Structure 1
Amino acid sequence: LQKFQFDCIGENLTDNEKGIAGSLKEFGLMLEEVATDWSSTIERSELQLIKPLEDFRKEHIHGYRNAKKSFDKASERYYKQLEHTLGLSHKKKGQHLQESDNELHAHKKIFHKEALNYVYKLQEVQERKKFEFVEHLLMFMQVYFNFFHQSHETANDCKDYMKDLQMRLVSTREQYEGAREKTKTLMRKMSDHPEAAEDSAGSGMRWFTSKWTKYFCMYTKENKLFQMLTPYHQPTSAISLNQSTSSSFVEPMIVKTCTRRVTDSIDKRFCFDLEVESGKRSLLTFQAVSDLDRRKWMSVMDGREPEYIPTKFKLDENGFRVIEKVIAEIERRGVEHEGIYRLVGVLSKVDFLLQQAVNPATCDSVDFSNESEWEINTLTSALKSAFRNLPEPILTFELHRDFINAAKPKSAFIPSAFLVEETENLNHQEAPSEPTVPNSQSTEEDESTSPGKTPTSPGKTPTTPSFLWGANDGPTSRPRSSAVVKSRGSRSPTEEVTPTVARTLFSCAGEHPEELSFQPGMLIREVERTEEPGWLRGMLNGKVGLVPENYIEFI
């Protein structure tokens, strides 16, 4: 007893706690004086001392262990659901994300309840043992001193001390009763309003790149101090395998700025960036547990929204040099990549590449040939973004037909049948850049709907007006094409088409006000030939306009 010490919660002990802790040493000194008689009566201590302490152990200490087991199970379920929810991409369906968030909220409530109960049981055992353990010892001393006639004088000398100790025990019990009621009231308030938070500080679980390590973070608004602590939690998945089971402390940092992370710039949800000052400035990315939690963090740290400032691009000397380098690099790597322009690169990397390229101070340091740093989709997206952000468009719709006509061969036009044949040949080849069906159709439509060319519909071979081969010439170099170009319902361009009725075979969207838009199966009346080969004029729903000849059949 003289060497026994109480483990206390907190830094400083009150006078009553010091007196209660020191009482055990006094009791040890008293017992030394009656050691001879004590050995003969120790067997009778079962009912006066051992049994009450055993009841205290079974009732309170075992209750604390059960509360700890419940807390560990609730903690396991909550962190498992938390990792699952934060691992979901923002591209998932809204309903799926909402269900996951609701399930996380339910586990969070259970986790908070079990955590509070665990702390309460721990505090209860620590407080009760201060007076109950000593009370049993005191009763033991009082009972046995009645039988110790030899130690009667010793007992009289201890009366004053024992009275003072009794008063301390009563005072400690009263303080415990009052603190217990306040604790229960505070627990109810925290359970009823878990979202309440102070304006001057914030705390909670956060995920931190680049390995997405889990931290318990605290922030104090007065001094802008940000602290991170690895929580006590056994790793349950691959995302936490790099964490130690014991808590580790990270050096506190001073927050300079807080900015919400752009959604498209990262695959994770609820992210925000912190610019901190720890020896040198650095940018850290954190993930909150929910959108509401992120708004609270940004509110307490005076966070701001990201600035959407597109990179201005000009076709000056530096701009032309950048365009030439990007195109040369794309051609060097080859255009056989699938979806080379359809698949977009990461927005943040594209913006960073353009910012470095257009800046005269850093343009020479950009290495476009570094495939590990600049993927092919990043280069193609940068090329598209450069043309998109020009002050004036490089190609207006007004000059569209002029550019098309200027690109046509002067001697003869490329037959649409040749394109169909080449498309069929490509379909039998195994190439990385093999066009998909929609891309093939769009290619044929571009060729078929160009001014001065016979329109070619998907799934239907083109007609053979005279301008395909010339006025008198036939297909001398490709005899196979003469059989291909003969299509169902085609007519010689020299035939006169009398006003009649035709049925549409395919859908068509007019690119100009003079062209008609229609769906398959619609009737076009008063159809007649126009001066432009491959185009007819008809009436649909009271509107007169141009119709591609290969998109209809006469009835």
Structure 2
Amino acid sequence: MGHPPLEFSDCYSDSPDFRERLKCYENELEKTNKFLKDVIKDGNNVINAIKEYSLGVQKFSQTLQSFQFDFIGDTLTDDEMNIAESFREFAGLLQDVEEGRMMLVQNACDLLIKPLEKFRKEQIGFTKTRNHFESTREEMEELMKRMKGSAQICIRHSQQATMEGYLYVQEKWALGVSWIKYYCKYFKDNKQFIMMPVEQKTGTKQTTAHLTLKSCVRRKTDSTDKRFCFDIETNERCSPVLLQAISEVNRKQWMEAMDGKEPVS
């Protein structure tokens, strides 16, 4: 079963779907790494066992070749000569078989085990966040800077949602007020605003909220202790929803997508 492709531009929005896809890749990488380690381990065990067996056969062959009768008289009997000759021929046959076996074992080691070991260490090991962390981080930061500086690529890269990203939502509970992190999407065509919870509050189960936008207004700085806030009014809720963006630029992007307005003085 194939996995959906990962695009570096998805890192910019860092949506829950992207994190889930990334987790699938990490799990698959770990599974592949474990499989290769097992193959290499079992392969080496088989090769070592074959080598031990081959050494025993070769020693047996040498014993047969070195065998000599202690005979009475000037020469061996016909039976003794036949036996000695049979030992030598059988020893030579064993030696030829084991030489071929050892060549096969060496090929298995050179063409299978060593390449797998190299691939596991250099490719999978390199991919796995440790020895190359600093250089990889510098490359990713440079790529991210180029993406942020591009006029054609921004957080609203999705082909469907006009705007998407993480927002904090003020929610009032019996014991007070809390800010809950959501991954939000806004579709300008039908004014749909979707909030998907990414942090569950203890003792509660939050579900995805589907709201229809009526208006969007920037929240005055002196009206809340949080920065980068704005209010939205929806058809489904009787009171405005107070949202906090991750930065001033991000708030402007959300308000622009929602045709937001400045607060009335």
Query: Structure 2 length normalisation: TM-score?
Result: 0.46
Q: Which has the higher strand share?
A: 2
Rg bigger for which structure? 1
State TM-score, norm by structure 1: 0.24
